[in-house]
Amino acid sequence: MRKRRVLVFGVIGLALLSVVVLIQMGPSSPSNQPLATRGRLGASGNKIAVAYLDGAIAEGRSSVATTGGITPRLVARYLKKLEADSSVRAVVFRIDSPGGSVAASQAIAGMIEEFSKPVVVSMGDIVASGGYYIAAPADRIFAMPGTMTGSIGVITSIMDLHGLYDKLGIKDQVIKSGQHKDMYQRTLTQEERELVQKLSDAAYEQFVAYVATHRGLPVERVRELATGELFLGSQAVELGLVDSLGDLDDAVAAAAELVGVESPVVYEVPAPVFLVDLWSLLGEVQAFAKALVLSPEERLLWRLREQPMVEMRY
């Protein structure tokens, strides 16, 4: 028991040391992209900003170095900073995302849609589902021939722990007001499955309508494409989901053309560092340390209970 306690405190100490190192290093941004010219914010007025959005899309607070995915808060920080600086003429979002939360995807897409400066999207390895949703309102979309994109659809996951409870001898007693209040805590009835399907269908229609509006495609045409399947970038261009094939440099050139800049200076936006999220990180470290002292069965149950009982994703 003493050795396990020492291990727990060692893990916490290592995590705290990592936080200090991250803060000392400060924000960073990718520098291995083939961008010929780089600049600083606030200098000349011919800048094209490049911001990187990587990971799953989720609501909530970003981690210390914003490496935990794409959140509305992260995108809002980017756009607020770039909106206020007159030296930035247009923005290129380099997106790599398999999708994620329905509401978060809609919030981010709304921000991009309302942004006053031109926005161009450069797709990386995969920009699917919610990733494609946030790309749809851009003025231009570029993809590599081998980029995986599309996956227009909705998936709803519901965790049923009833079998595990039985195995561990746990009896869940529920007192409810409202016929379906506990529907996500047990096996669904047929009627409840139909209710969830209606929710999924409604979110699906929102996705289809949004893509149709921003890509200038008929709704029925988008519905034909919205089977949840992935397309290569070369296919997506032919289908009208992507404007052109090209890399990040091509996207920057297109953004410069949109604003009439002949010799753009590229500004790579550093990822914001949210120091207020140190407490959130410490909470995660404490949770991890707690898991070290639980039995395998307790650890499994604890992890499962930490997951959302129902999750709808683009």
Write the CA distances from 263 to 35, 38, 39, 48, 259, integer angstroms: 13, 11, 12, 10, 11
Neighbours of 121 (CB within 10 A): 28
**What does the alpha-carbon distance between residue 156 and residue 197 come to, in Å, rounded to a whole number?**
9
CA 147 to chain centre: 17
Answer whether 120's CB lies under 8 Å from 255's CB: yes
Count of CB atoms situated within 10 Å of the CB of 191: 10
Query: Of the listed 97, 101, 105, 129, which one is catalytic?
Result: 129
Residue with tokens 């550093």: 270
| From 28, 80, 176, 181, active-site residue | 181
* DSSP assignments along 62-112, one per residue: --TTS-S-B-HHHHHHHHHHHHH-TTEEEEEEEEEE--BBHHHHHHHHHHH
Active-site annotation holds for 181? yes
CB distance 11 to 242 below 8 Å: no
59 vs 130: CA distance, rounded Å: 12
Whole-number Å distance between alpha carbons of 116 and 260:
16
Catalytic residues: 129, 181
